[in-house]
Structure 1
Amino acid sequence: MAEIVISEFITPEALALLEQHHSVHYDSTLWERDDDLAAVLRDARALIVRNKTQVGGGLIGAAARLEAVGRLGVGLDNIDVATCERRGIKVLPAHGANAAAVAEYVIGAALILLRGAFGATPRLTAGEWPREQLIGRQLEGKQLGLLGFGAIGQATAARARVFGMEIAAYDPGIPHDAPRWQTEARRMTFEELLETSDVLSLHLPLNEETRGALGGAALARMKPSAVLINTARGGIVDERALAAALRDGRLAGVALDVFETEPIDGGTGALFAGLENVLLTPHIAGVTEESNARVSDVTARNVLEVLASPDITA
């Protein structure tokens, strides 16, 4: 039986590294078959997943020898962390490995939404010249508000600063006297950040405290000229309230990379259909060729460290 089970995509290089030290069962579609996953995991020491595999109490209970769960990414809402902790199983997110990819996505989305001109190709090829209609706004001088100021929030702030943006953030998990509040961002309350930000970017985990945090009341606090970018988790935003705010002109634009239900269903799609100030992408903000390589390598090395494999080069 395999010591390491991988139920979603990992790069060939990272797979080869794992196979140098342990027997590996790799099937990128295994997450779709709960019974098969439980069967191959029965004697495994490690499981490596992305965000589709649901690592719940039943699956963990079926894996008597499990020592580690490697997460090819950073979100842990698909992993029963509490049960892992009780069992002494290490949960290993790839902290920071895809931060640059997400940060670039946020800046790119902000540029597109504020400028508002990059969807004009069909109109120009049809003979139109809507120059005055497409005069948009710049990032320079605008406030970037970050809900969550961990590694990805900080990477986003660093890039936004180059464009001349003012940086503000809310993160109750960071002590008020932490140095980053003095050098990297102005510390605000949740309400202040909503009310003052021109671009609001979400970088929070999904948990009981954050679920539905951006509902109708919170969205109503935002400037009508503001844009919202969510690359965190879909359940943080009330999608119905968000669509209503966009249609009523109470919000200038939105980029959503994550959704409460993934893949999105027809109902969710219908909420945003026909809106020109919306960018929807299929949970790929942190997924690039480069970040895939980093995330896979970091996760493989994290797992090997827990399993105490020798001769792992840095």
Structure 2
Amino acid sequence: MWIHINDPLAEEATEKLKKALPDAKITIEHFDKDILKEKVKDFDVLIIRSATKATKEIIESGKKLKLIARAGMGLDNVDLDAAKEHNIKVINTPGANSLSVAELVVGYILSIYRHLVTGTVTLREGKWEKKKLKGYELSGKTLGIVGFGHIGKLVRKLVTGFDMEVLVFDVFEIPEEVQKEHNVKQVSFEELIKNSDIITLHVPLNEKTKHLISENEFEMMKDNVIIINAARGGVIDEKALLKYLENGKVLGAGLDVFEEEPPTSELQLKLLKHPMVVATPHIGATTKEAQRRVGLELVDKIVDIVKNM
């Protein structure tokens, strides 16, 4: 049994895997796609995070591959159809890193409303822009959560103390008792877009969500809206976002993900330079606590599957 870890797990999780499966050959090294395509033919289990793309080409090269284990929530970097065709099981750890992402979202909102980045940068430049950096309070605002899964529910929990009205949209009907439990109101996508002061996105990237937020949606939004994307790049049309930031319709944006990563295009660099954009390099789940939870949970699942192979 050869288990290859192409994207590193928390050290504690790796050690747990080795102890649980002492007879397995366990290797740890990141291979880029061309090398991975060659190496994967010998692996029984492939462990990845977001950096590795388990494409159809790689999956078809995995002649012995029985399991692809994704440390994290999304599976958009795994060709699920190809895996199914070749009878390869795919697992992940939904929910294990949700709290870290939710906390980052709240950090973005506070940073934008209170000009934390601009205030720091201008102070370092020797400026005292107290009057210019007038902010906003969160209390009394309406928060719109698009996608009410693990992360969406935690975002709602974290903002409870700010006394906000919370609207949620989800493609699934949320039971009345769940809405009452979380003190939210399920509305249509259009109603959420039109009535929210802050919109945070928590949906996967697929054909239906590609450019879910584009010019038409920005036109419907309230003036001085904030938009947060810590889900997947491509859910927001970056060209449209830049347009509405520049014309002042959008007050600010918090971005952890981008249509192309890392962001290098002229448009993306212009977006990143906008003073009301707070951005991070896809670190939503990158906390010590989350990586430990993700790694340990994934290892438990792998061990259970391998022992029953």
Q: Report if TM-score (shorter chain) is over 0.5.
A: yes
**C-alpha contact (below 8 Å) 1:69/1:90 kept by paired residues:** yes
| Match in the other structure for 1:180 | 178
Shift of 1:126: 6.1
| Match in the other structure for 1:66 | 65
Q: CA 1:244/1:16 → structure 2, altered by over 3 Å: closer, same or farther? A: same
Partner of 1:227: helix, strand, or coil?
A: strand
| Match in the other structure for 2:28 | 26
Partner of 1:236: helix, strand, or coil?
A: coil
Contiguous gaps of at least 5 residues in structure 2:
none
**C-alpha contact (below 8 Å) 2:108/2:254 kept by paired residues:** yes
Q: Which amino acid aligns with 2:181?
A: T
What is the distance in 2 between the residues matched to 1:19 and 1:129?
Answer: 55
Q: CA 1:280/1:60 → structure 2, altered by over 3 Å: closer, same or farther? A: same
**C-alpha contact (below 8 Å) 2:223/2:250 kept by paired residues:** yes
Shift of 1:215: 1.1
Shift of 1:234: 0.8
**C-alpha contact (below 8 Å) 1:144/1:160 kept by paired residues:** no
What is the distance in 1 between the residues matched to 2:124 and 2:151?
Answer: 38
Partner of 1:167: helix, strand, or coil?
A: strand
Shift of 1:128: 4.9
What is the distance in 2 between the residues matched to 1:178 and 1:42?
Answer: 50
TM normalised by structure 2 equals 0.92
| Match in the other structure for 2:207 | 208
What is the distance in 1 between the residues matched to 2:105 and 2:145?
Answer: 11
Q: CA 1:126/1:216 → structure 2, altered by over 3 Å: closer, same or farther? A: closer
| Match in the other structure for 1:276 | 275
**2:223 aligned with 1:224:** yes
What is the distance in 1 between the residues matched to 2:272 and 2:16?
Answer: 45
Q: CA 1:296/1:183 → structure 2, altered by over 3 Å: closer, same or farther? A: same
What is the distance in 2 between the residues matched to 1:217 and 1:41?
Answer: 44
Please give the root-mean-square deviation of Cα atoms over the aligned residues, in Å. Answer: 2.0
What is the distance in 1 between the residues matched to 2:89 and 2:221?
Answer: 40
Shift of 1:140: 1.1
Q: Which amino acid aligns with 2:305?
A: V
Partner of 1:14: helix, strand, or coil?
A: helix
What is the distance in 2 between the residues matched to 1:268 and 1:126?
Answer: 26
What is the distance in 2 between the residues matched to 1:231 and 1:274?
Answer: 18
TM normalised by structure 1 equals 0.90
Q: CA 1:249/1:72 → structure 2, altered by over 3 Å: closer, same or farther? A: same
Q: CA 1:73/1:122 → structure 2, altered by over 3 Å: closer, same or farther? A: closer
Shift of 1:266: 3.6
What is the distance in 1 between the residues matched to 2:169 and 2:174?
Answer: 10
Q: Which amino acid aligns with 1:23?
A: K
Question: Deviation string for 1:115-144 (max 9, x for gaps)?
Answer: 225532454566654333222111112111
Of all paired residues, the percent bearing the same amino acid is 32
What is the distance in 2 between the residues matched to 1:244 and 1:299?
Answer: 41
Q: Which amino acid aligns with 1:293?
A: R
| Match in the other structure for 1:288 | 287
Q: Structure 2 matches for 1:140-159, cutoff 5 A? A: 140-159=139-158
**C-alpha contact (below 8 Å) 2:238/2:268 kept by paired residues:** no
Segment of structure 1 superposing worse, 268-277 or 189-198: 268-277
Segment of structure 1 superposing worse, 138-147 or 124-133: 124-133
What is the distance in 2 between the residues matched to 1:53 and 1:231?
Answer: 19
Question: Deviation string for 1:18-68 (max 9, x for gaps)?
Answer: 2220211210x21x142x323332232211111121112221122233222
| Match in the other structure for 1:259 | 258
What is the distance in 1 between the residues matched to 2:33 and 2:55?
Answer: 14
Partner of 1:201: helix, strand, or coil?
A: strand
Q: Which amino acid aligns with 1:49?
A: I
Q: CA 1:67/1:162 → structure 2, altered by over 3 Å: closer, same or farther? A: farther
| Match in the other structure for 1:87 | 86
What is the distance in 1 between the residues matched to 2:306 and 2:161?
Answer: 42
**C-alpha contact (below 8 Å) 1:6/1:48 kept by paired residues:** yes
